[in-house]
Structures are given as C-alpha cells and as structure tokens.
Amino acid sequence: MSAYSPRLSRLIEALRRLPGVGPKSAQRMAFHLLDRDRQGAQLLGGALVEALEGIGRCPSCRMFCDAGEHCRYCADSRASTGQLCVLESPADLMAIESGTSYRGRYFVLMGRLSPLDGVGPAELGLDLLQEQLASGEVQEMIIATNPTVEGEATAYYLAEMARGQGIKVSRIAHGVPMGGELEYVDGGTLAHAMSGRTPV
C-alpha cells in the first residue's frame, strides 16, 4: 500500500518520467510544488498542455516547432548554402547552432538506427531525407551523429544514401577536446583523433 494519496502518487510517478529524475527527486519536486509554489505548478501544467497541443515537427527538418508551420532553421537563406547537417536530436541542433558558425539547414533524426529497439529507417524519417537529397538542393551532407555504436552505424547508412545521389559527404570530427591533455584521453577517443587528423 502506497504511503501517499492516489493523487500524490500519480504526480510523483509523472515527475519520474523526466530524464534523470529518480523517486527521491520526484518526491522532492512534488512536495515543493504543492507546498511552496502552487502558482508555479499551475504555470508548469498550463505550459505542458499548451506545448502538447500546439507543438509538432517541422515538415522539412523534423525539428520541434509550432504545429503546421516550418521552423526558423528552414529559411530560404539557409538553403542557399547547399549544406544539410543531419543529427540525432533537437538538443544536438541547439548545440551546433549556438556553438558553431554553421548556418545551413538541418535534418533531425529524432534517434538513431537501432534494430534491437525497433528503430529503423522509417522511424527516423529517412524517406523524407531521401526526397530532400534527390531534390538537387543539397551539395554537402554533414553527418553529426554521436560517436556511439548506433551513431556510427547510422552515419554509415546516411553516407551511403548521400553517395547514391552523388552528394558530398562529411562527418564532424571526433577527438581530443580543447584544453584536454593527451595522457588523460581514453584510447577510443585518441584513435578517432589520430585517424581523423588534418593537415596544418
């Protein structure tokens, strides 16, 4: 039998759905919202409902945006670069947008190929990506998937798609971070850095 009322139990279980939130953190959040910030809780609840009802995916790049509209990253000025950066998540898009000078278009996979988890080309929207590659507007596809086993397999699949259309393919570099010291870098990262070395 639960130590909480049914409503409180449901709130704590709902908060546990957030990434990185365990039972204790969920309990602390629930108690805080109920005891000290009921107005904030109402604001949070309203924002969640509004987001769920009004936010969809951009029909071109699959980034989150207002339902039925194209996102700001699909502007015509960005298409003129001829570059298309393919990445795994909206968070990856925001990292590249804020941390680099890249101003081309994007395509957000919303995941990576993982047959064991039931994630194949259809779940990643690769039919839509194929249409864009065939349109003739893309001269270079930049693959920015994460350096995991699934990310590397996805990168290989994407590269084959682009090469099939005669499109230049590049992959973001992986290796030693700025400010890092070689003696503390793991072997896999160091191997990537060595194989991806560039002339100076």
Task: Flag whether 140 is in a domain.
Answer: yes
Q: What is the pLDDT of residue 187?
A: 81
Residue 1, pLDDT > 60, answer no
**71 or 186: whose pLDDT is higher?**
71
Percent of the chain with pLDDT over 90: 72
Task: Flag whether 197 is in a domain.
Answer: no
Task: Flag whether 5 is in a domain.
Answer: no
Return the CATH number at 114.
Answer: 3.40.1360.10
Q: What is the pLDDT of residue 116?
A: 87
Determine how many CB atoms are found less than 10 A away from the CB of residue 144: 21
- Tell me the sheet residues that pair with 107: 86
Q: What is the pLDDT of residue 2?
A: 67
How many structural domains does the chain have? 1
Residue type present at position 151: G
pLDDT tens for 3-37 read: 789 999 999 999 999 999 999 999 999 999 999 99
Task: Flag whether 122 is in a domain.
Answer: yes
Q: How many Å apart are CA 77 and CA 150, to the nearest integer?
A: 32
Task: Flag whether 165 is in a domain.
Answer: yes
Q: In whole numbers, what is the pLDDT of the chain averaged over residues?
A: 90
182 in Cβ contact with 176 (< 8 Å): yes
Percent of the chain with pLDDT over 70: 98
Task: Flag whether 38 is in a domain.
Answer: no
Q: Which two tokens stand for residue 192?
A: 């990537």
Task: Flag whether 123 is in a domain.
Answer: yes
Structural domain of 106: 74-171
Task: Flag whether 114 is in a domain.
Answer: yes
- Phi, psi values for residue 62, rounded to 5°: 75, 10
pLDDT tens for 62-94 read: 999 998 899 999 988 898 899 999 999 999 999
The least confident of 47-51, 61-65, 73-77, 156-160 is: 73-77
The least confident of 100-104, 129-133, 151-155, 183-187 is: 183-187
